[in-house]
Amino acid sequence: MSIPMWDTLRVGTGSEIVLVVDFSADTGRETAGFGDLVPLLPDRYTVQAPLRSAWTDGEDGTVGPTARLEQWLSTAAQFGPEVVAVLGYCAGCRLSAAFADRIASPTAPVMVFFDPLPVLPQSLWQEYAKAVTQLAPGLGDSVVGQAIEHARVQADATTSIDELARWLSDSYADLAPRGCEELGIGAEFAEQLVSRLARYLRYLAIAAAAPLSPGSSPALVLRSHDPVPAALLEHADSLRLAHADVRQLDMPRVELLGSQEAADLVTRLLSGRA
C-alpha cells in the first residue's frame, strides 16, 4: 500500500500495520531511531513512517507548519482497521496522537510513546544552543554566548513557535558560515548544518501545532533514564500521561529505540490486542 507522505520501512507477513512517527526513522544516527526498532518487532507487522519530506516540504515559507500538519493528517483517511498501533518518539508523540485520532477505523489503534516530550519555545532554543555551541572553536566563546543569550530572550518572549523557528534558523544561517570559514571548512558543509537545523526546527513547529485531544491516551509509555526538566513534566502533554502505564527502562535515551526490552514490551502489548 503506497500512501503519500509515508514510507514503508518493512513489509510484514501479515495484514497488520504499525505506524511510527519521528523526525526521521534513519538508522546509523547517534540516537537510535525507529529503523533500529523495526527488526526487533515480529515480522508479521508492516511498518510505515512519515517521509522526511512530510516535515520539510514548504520550508521556504510557502506552507506554514499548521497547513503542513493538516496536509499530513489528511492522509489518515487512507488508513483503516489494519493499523493496530501508532508509535511516537519524543516530540513525535503529540503528532502520533493527533494522527491516531484521524484514522478511519471503529477501533482506535493503540498508542505507544517513547520518551514523550512537549514542544515549548525553550525546546527550540535548546536545539539552537546545541548547534551554536559547536561553532565556538570558530566564532569564539563570547560570540556564541551572546548569540545563545539573545536567542533565549527571543524564546522567552515569543508568542509563535513558527516565528521563533524561523528567527532561530535565520540567526544560525548567519553564524554557521562564519564559524566554518574561520576553521577553514567549506561553505557546502556550512549549508548542510544550516539546512539540518532549519528542518528540525520546522518539524518541532509542526509538532507544536498538533491538536491535543483529551480523548487520546497512550496504552504504554516507555521512558529512558534521562532526566526530564520539571517545566516539561508540568506541561499539559505530560500531565495527560498520569494514568498511563509508564515503564522506566534502565538505559539512556540514545539507546531506547534500539532496545530489545522496549521492543518486547511493545510486542507484548500488541499480542494482547490480537
Report the alpha-carbon angle 52-102-268, nearest 5. 80
DSSP character for 25? -
Cell numbers placing 229? 526538566
User: What percentage of residues in the chain have a pLDDT greater than 90?
Assistant: 73
* pLDDT tens digits, 113-159: 999 988 999 999 999 999 999 999 999 999 999 999 999 999 999 99
- Nearest to residue 21, comparing CAs of 9, 10, 34, 31? 34
The Cα 126–Cα 122 span in angstroms is: 6
Contacts (Cβ under 8 Å, ≥6 apart) of 53: 5
Q: Where are the domains of the chain?
A: 6-116+218-273, 121-207
The Cα 74–Cα 71 span in angstroms is: 5
The pLDDT value recorded for residue 214 is 59
**Fold held by 6-116+218-273:** Rossmann fold (3.40.50)
The Cα 204–Cα 264 span in angstroms is: 29
The pLDDT value recorded for residue 232 is 66
* pLDDT tens digits, 59-92: 666 789 999 999 999 999 999 899 999 999 999 9
> For residue 235, is pLDDT > 80?
no
Contacts (Cβ under 8 Å, ≥6 apart) of 125: 151, 152, 154, 155, 164, 168
Question: CB of 266 within 8 A of CB of 87?
Answer: yes
46-69 as b/e: b if 16+ CB within 10 A: bbbbbbbebbbbbbeeeeebeebb
**Angle, to 10 degrees, between the axis of helix 187-209 and the axis of helix 161-182?**
160
Helix (H) or strand (E) holding 223: strand 220-223
- Neighbouring CB atoms inside 10 A of 241's CB total 17
* pLDDT tens digits, 10-56: 999 999 999 999 998 775 578 899 999 999 999 999 999 999 888 88
Cell numbers placing 173? 544561517
Q: Which amino acid is at 186?
A: G
Cell numbers placing 215? 480523548
| pTM of the full structure | 0.91
The pLDDT value recorded for residue 218 is 81
What SS3 class is residue 245? coil
Instruction: Kindly report the backbone phi and psi dihedral angles of residue 114, in degrees, each rounded to the nearest multiple of 5, phi listed first.
Output: -110, 115
The pLDDT value recorded for residue 244 is 80
| CB neighbour class for 175 (10 Å; exposed up to 12, middle 13-18, buried from 19) | buried
**Candidate from 95-109, 203-217, 230-244 with smallest mean pLDDT:** 230-244
The pLDDT value recorded for residue 58 is 67
